[in-house]
Structure 1
Amino acid sequence: MELTPQDSGGPSPTTEVHLGPLLELAADAIEEHVELAASLDIARALKLRHHPDIVELARMTDQMLTHCATLAVGVGQIPVGARSPRGAVVLETWTQLKDDGPADGPLGPWSYTRHLALAARDMLEEIHDHRRKAAFTGRPGLPPLPPGAR
């Protein structure tokens, strides 16, 4: 007697389910969460007027590097012809910041974190601007589409 996967306690029959709409909803929620976290961290980094301790500065620098890397992917997804001059320049700035790292001297690490925050802010604004413009594309005279309606 031969056992089938069901008889042996193995997998049961499966049903295919189209996950497209569900994945789109999840992706929108994840994007919103990432963008909110980035904007809060950026604001916190740009408000610094005095040197934080070395551990806090390292944590903030790590956050800004992560946000910049993530947001650069988003800006890179915008077609070159649809990017604003700010979008093109901020990707160059990000590349330069990655390559150069913090400058020497007492203000180097603090200044580096601040420049990363400025780059992240510009990338986030570029993504938001592109998204706002996309809501009007192909809908002259009509109100913009709500997020997630595409």
Structure 2
Amino acid sequence: MIDPKPLTPAERELAALDCDRVLVGFQFKPSPLEIGRLTVTIRSHGERLHASMLALPPKNRTRRSDAALRDWGDLIAQGPRPVPLGAWTYLRALARTVRGFLEVLADADAAKGGVR
């Protein structure tokens, strides 16, 4: 079950750091076992952030927020492709979308003058 509470500032920072760990060059690509572990971690961050994105008031919705929500939906529906590097490519796409969620939510926080 997904925790419906928004991520705390510390949890958002952890999510950002996890995205940084994923979005590395090919020479730093994690092992298949680590890719699986990171996929679970990034999906968990994304699911909680997705709930926060859906809760944004209409005035905070942008093209970027709508695109990130569409991307998340597509990624969750499709899953990784059964091709070489498919799991790593999928993980990276999840991480880019989570990073987008974090940036949209930070912008919304700044617009209202605080941290969610």
Using the size of structure 1 for normalisation, the TM-score is 0.68
Q: Gaps spanning 5+ residues in structure 1: where?
A: 1-26, 136-145
Tell me: CA distance 1:147–1:82, structure 2 relative to 1, closer, same or farther (3 Å).
closer
Equivalent in 129, 138, 145 of residue 107 of structure 2? 129
Separation in 1, partners of 2:25, 2:87: 13
Which residue number in structure 2 is paired with residue 95 of structure 1?
Answer: 73
- How far residue 37 of structure 1 moved from its aligned partner, in angstroms, is 0.8
* Structure-2 separation of matches of 1:75 and 1:35: 13
Counterpart pick for 2:21 among 35, 44, 51: 44
Shift of 1:147: 4.7
- 2:10 counterpart of 1:33: yes
Q: Rg larger in 1 or in 2?
A: 1
TM, length-normalised to structure 2: 0.87
Partner of 1:80: 58
Give aligned-pair identity as a percent: 28
Structure whose residues are more often helix by fraction: 2
Contact 2:9–2:115 under 8 Å retained in 1: no
- Tell me the C-alpha RMSD between the 2 structures: 1.9
Query: How many residues get paired?
Result: 111
Change (3 A) 1:130 1:43: same
| Larger RCO (alpha carbons 8 Å, 6+ apart) | 2
- What displacement does 1:48 show? 4.3
* Inter-partner Cα distance in structure 2 for 1:53 and 1:147: 35
- 1:63 Cα deviation after fit: 0.9
- Residue 111 (structure 1) shift: 0.2
The AA in structure 2 aligned to 1:93 is D
Aligned equivalents of 1:147, 1:41: Cα separation in 2: 20
Of 116-125 and 65-74, more deviation after overlay is shown by 65-74
